[in-house]
């Protein structure tokens, strides 16, 4: 069993969902983020937030995967002040909802004053609503941006044990871990972590407060990064309990602090039965619902 | 004294929920009445499942009849505690219907699935419900069957307020997404020639694609059969599916054409069932395909 606590399923296909379920992913967390290009108004952002708790959650469930999300204004789009104000106004509509496991992904991109203003405002919202926080650390000037992010969380009275800092690398993780935060690592080809490096991180730092995710999205990325990394770790001699912690248990413990992310959600569910759970067949478009846990081969030529 | 729907919802929830949950709900409602913005309402509606859990609403026969007395056609038998609480929260401060509709529109647009189910199940209880027709018709456009059913099933709202096109699309869509027709209230009263044509076209498409057709479809067709459509029904008397045979017999019985009665006579067993009253649309609930 695996959890991918950072993946943008809205950008992925049903074939991905099938492959993820077959690989043992039982739950995913989809952070609210941008769409590869900036939105031009708060209205489209609102539709996106609605889809995270609505259609995407439903779509995931049709493949036996539990879908959760984090809600927030991302750093890139915080630089559009009119849009940012509109999004901040509607966040209270979403943050208290079932299955919203943190305020996220928030943080810095260019590290501008506007980014900092909305980062701080959302840290206050998280404290007010007693939600964990998921931090996106910047791609550029990463080390400094990470340090400042940690300092802001502390300044706003958030316990490091309720903050998940994502997109770490060899240069940032020591500070994140030593200050008591959760350190998540994104296995994303070319730009973020490779999974061989990830094996070495776990060998060096152990499995405490370390989390592996894929951040798979609309770019060249891999929705099976978590199960693949788990297998590579086992093959390279990382003990199984540590592998389980970084690919399942730690994400559960960290985001479970929301009270909205519980193992019972997937352990107590019956075998996948799209008909029983949701009656309809809108994702399946009239195909026979799959029942049972056997992955289905997609190699038949006949389409009925 | 007859109680209002909001009073009934509150009393059922007080009876079923643990006391901390009841305390939260009562305090929240008191706060909402004092609030000068919609933010506390949004947060409360969102956090209902966190605060109160989500269980089926446990009702007695007396509750069901009180519901009917409070609002004709209201059938809360399949409601959940979270749905009841959300509708109660919406009804808790008496705002003008116009503002109520605007607010409902906002919360529906931001809703997750269980919330949508709640907001749509509540339709018949809201102030000036005629104002909410386009919101309800939007709800019918969903591809989530459980949300669709919150409007279409056990809900008096569509039969009372939908225009013919909206009604017809709802019935056809129920077949399309594979939910039953019999829980739709007013199904027989609102049958119409246009719907019958749409359903027959749909049945022909399905048949051409070698896909099954729900036998319930013929319930909305029989009265409108004519020389050009009789043949869509008659072969089904000899179907190897007993429910399809029965549906064909009922449709022919409903058909005003004299030849329908003659054709029906060819199946004496079904005629006997019709005469005995054991075959009727009122009890026609075939298993889903």
CA-CA distance, B197 to B210, in Å (whole number)?
A: 20
Task: Give how far B263 is from chain A: nearest CA, Å.
Answer: 34
- B10 and B153 housed in the same domain: yes
- Does A48 touch chain B if contact means CB atoms closer than 8 Å? no
- Does A43 touch chain B if contact means CB atoms closer than 8 Å? no
- B231 and B120 housed in the same domain: no
Number of residues that this document lists for chain B: 289
Task: Give how far B39 is from chain A: nearest CA, Å.
Answer: 7
- B14 and B122 housed in the same domain: yes
Per-residue confidence (pLDDT) for residue B93, from 0 to 100: 86
- B128 and B203 housed in the same domain: no
- The residues that bridge with A210 in the sheet, in sequence order, are A183
Poorest-pLDDT segment among A148-152, A201-205, A277-281, B259-263: A277-281
For the stretch B216-240, pLDDT in tens is: 999 999 999 999 999 999 999 999 9
For the stretch A159-193, pLDDT in tens is: 999 999 999 999 999 999 999 999 999 999 888 89
Looking at the domain assignment, is residue B169 inside a domain? no
Confidence of residue A282 (pLDDT cuts 50, 70, 90): very low
For the stretch B30-74, pLDDT in tens is: 999 999 999 999 999 999 998 999 999 999 999 999 999 999 999
- B156 and B198 housed in the same domain: no
Looking at the domain assignment, is residue B252 inside a domain? yes
Looking at the domain assignment, is residue B142 inside a domain? yes
Looking at the domain assignment, is residue B181 inside a domain? no
Task: Give how far B213 is from chain A: nearest CA, Å.
Answer: 13
| Domains contained in chain B, number | 2
- B60 and B136 housed in the same domain: yes
Numbered residues of chain B with Cβ closer than 8 Å to any chain A Cβ: 39, 42-44, 46-47, 49-50, 106-107, 109-116, 143-146, 148-149, 177-179, 211
- B130 and B11 housed in the same domain: yes
For the stretch B130-174, pLDDT in tens is: 999 999 999 999 999 999 999 999 999 999 999 999 999 999 999
CA-CA distance, A140 to A221, in Å (whole number)?
A: 19
- B279 and B237 housed in the same domain: yes
The count of other CB atoms within 10 Å of the CB of residue B27 is 10
ipTM of the complex: 0.86
How many beta-carbon pairs under 8 angstroms link A with B? 82
Looking at the domain assignment, is residue B289 inside a domain? no
Task: Indicate yes or no: CB of B145 within 8 angstroms of CB of A278.
Answer: yes
Of the residues A280, A281, A285, A289, the best mutation for testing chain B's interface (the one with the most B CB atoms within 10 Å of its CB) is: A280
Which residues from chain B sit within 8 angstroms of residue A94, using beta carbons?
46, 110
DSSP string, A102-138: EEEEEE-SS--HHHHHHHHHHHHHHHHHT--EEEEPP
Task: Give yes or no for a contact between B125 and B5, defined as CB atoms under 8 angstroms apart.
Answer: yes
Last residue of a domain, one of B163, B183, B212: B163
The count of other CB atoms within 10 Å of the CB of residue B78 is 17
Last residue of a domain, one of B142, B163, B184: B163
- Does A286 touch chain B if contact means CB atoms closer than 8 Å? yes
Per-residue confidence (pLDDT) for residue A276, from 0 to 100: 37
Task: Indicate yes or no: CB of A281 within 8 angstroms of CB of B178.
Answer: yes
Among residues of chain B, what percentage have pLDDT more than 90? 95
- B105 and B200 housed in the same domain: no
For the stretch B89-100, pLDDT in tens is: 999 988 999 999
Task: Indicate yes or no: CB of A282 within 8 angstroms of CB of B47.
Answer: no
Number of residues that this document lists for chain A: 304
Question: What residue numbers bound the domain in which B33 lies?
Answer: 5-163
Looking at the domain assignment, is residue B178 inside a domain? no
**Is a pLDDT exceeding 70 seen at residue B268?**
yes
A39 in helix, strand or coil?
coil
Measured CA distances, A43 to A40, A131, A254, B110 (Å) = 9, 25, 31, 11
Looking at the domain assignment, is residue B157 inside a domain? yes
Q: Assign residue B55 a region: left if phi > 0, alpha if psi is -120 to 50, beta otherwise?
A: beta
Confidence of residue A269 (pLDDT cuts 50, 70, 90): low
Last residue of a domain, one of B118, B141, B163: B163
Task: Give how far B113 is from chain A: nearest CA, Å.
Answer: 6
Q: Which domains does chain A have, with CATH numbers?
A: 2-271 (3.20.20.140)
- B44 and B114 housed in the same domain: yes
Average pLDDT, chain B: 95
- B71 and B206 housed in the same domain: no
- B46 and B119 housed in the same domain: yes
Rounding to the nearest 10 degrees, give the CA dihedral for residues A240, A242, A244, A246: -150
Question: CA nearest B44: which of B136, B98, B118?
Answer: B118
Looking at the domain assignment, is residue B174 inside a domain? no
Task: Indicate yes or no: CB of A53 within 8 angstroms of CB of B112.
Answer: yes
The count of other CB atoms within 10 Å of the CB of residue B131 is 16
Task: Give how far A86 is from chain B: nearest CA, Å.
Answer: 14
């Amino acid at each position: 069993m695996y959890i991918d606590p950072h993946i943008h399923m809205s950008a992925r296909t049903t074939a991905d969902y099938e492959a993820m379920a077959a690989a043992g992913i039982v739950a995913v967390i989809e952070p609210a983020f941008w769409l590869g290009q900036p939105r031009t108004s708060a209205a489209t952002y609102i539709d996106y937030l609605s889809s995270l708790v609505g259609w995407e959650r439903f779509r995931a469930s049709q493949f036996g995967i539990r879908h959760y999300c984090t809600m927030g204004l991302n750093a890139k789009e915080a630089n559009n002040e009119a849009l940012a104000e509109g999004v901040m106004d509607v966040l209270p509509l979403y943050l208290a909802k079932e299955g919203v496991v943190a305020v996220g992904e928030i943080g810095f991109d260019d590290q501008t004053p506007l980014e900092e203003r909305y980062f701080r405002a959302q840290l206050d919202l998280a404290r007010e609503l007693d939600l964990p926080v998921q931090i996106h650390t910047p791609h550029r000037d990463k080390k400094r941006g990470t340090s400042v992010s940690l300092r802001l969380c502390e300044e706003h009275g958030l316990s490091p044990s309720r903050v998940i800092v994502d997109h770490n690398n060899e240069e940032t993780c020591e500070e994140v871990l030593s200050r008591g935060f959760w350190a998540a690592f994104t296995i994303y080809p070319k730009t973020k972590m490779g999974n061989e490096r990830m094996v070495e991180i776990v060998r060096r730092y152990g499995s405490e407060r370390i989390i592996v995710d894929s951040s798979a999205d609309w770019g060249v990325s891999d929705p099976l990064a978590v199960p693949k990394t788990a297998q590579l770790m086992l093959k390279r001699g990382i003990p199984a309990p540590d592998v389980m912690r970084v690919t399942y248990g730690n994400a559960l413990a960290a985001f479970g602090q929301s009270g909205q992310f519980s193992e019972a959600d997937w352990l107590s569910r019956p075998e996948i039965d799209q008909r029983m759970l949701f009656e309809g067949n809108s994702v399946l478009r009239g195909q026979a619902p799959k029942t049972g846990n056997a992955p289905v081969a997609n190699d038949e030529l006949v389409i009925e | 004294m007859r109680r209002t729907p909001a009073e009934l919802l509150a009393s059922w929830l007080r009876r079923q929920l643990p006391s901390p949950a009841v305390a939260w709900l009562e305090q929240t409602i008191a706060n909402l009445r004092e609030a000068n913005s919609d933010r506390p309402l949004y947060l409360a509606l969102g956090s209902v499942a966190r605060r109160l859990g989500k269980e089926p609403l446990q009702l007695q026969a007396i509750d069901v009849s009180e519901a009917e007395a409070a609002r004709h056609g209201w059938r809360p038998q399949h409601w959940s505690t979270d749905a009841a609480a959300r509708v109660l929260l919406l009804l808790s401060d008496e705002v003008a219907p116009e503002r109520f509709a605007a607010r409902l529109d906002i919360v529906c647009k931001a809703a997750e699935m269980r919330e949508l189910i709640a907001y749509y199940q509540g339709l018949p209880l809201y102030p000036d419900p005629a104002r909410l027709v386009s919101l309800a018709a939007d709800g019918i456009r969903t591809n989530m069957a459980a949300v669709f059913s919150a409007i279409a099933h056990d809900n008096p709202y569509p039969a009372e307020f939908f225009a013919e096109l909206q009604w017809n699309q709802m019935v056809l869509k129920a077949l399309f997404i594979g939910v039953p027709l019999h829980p739709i209230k007013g199904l027989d009263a609102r049958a119409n020639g246009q719907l019958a044509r749409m359903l027959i076209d749909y049945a022909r498409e399905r048949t051409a694609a070698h896909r099954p057709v729900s036998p319930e479809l013929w319930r909305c067709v029989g009265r409108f059969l004519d020389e050009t459509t009789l043949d869509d029904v008659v072969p089904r008397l000899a179907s190897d599916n007993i429910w399809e045979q029965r549906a064909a017999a009922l449709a022919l019985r409903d058909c005003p054409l004299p030849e329908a009665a003659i054709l029906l006579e060819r199946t004496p067993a079904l005629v006997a069932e019709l005469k005995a009253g054991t075959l009727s649309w009122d009890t026609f609930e075939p298993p889903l395909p």
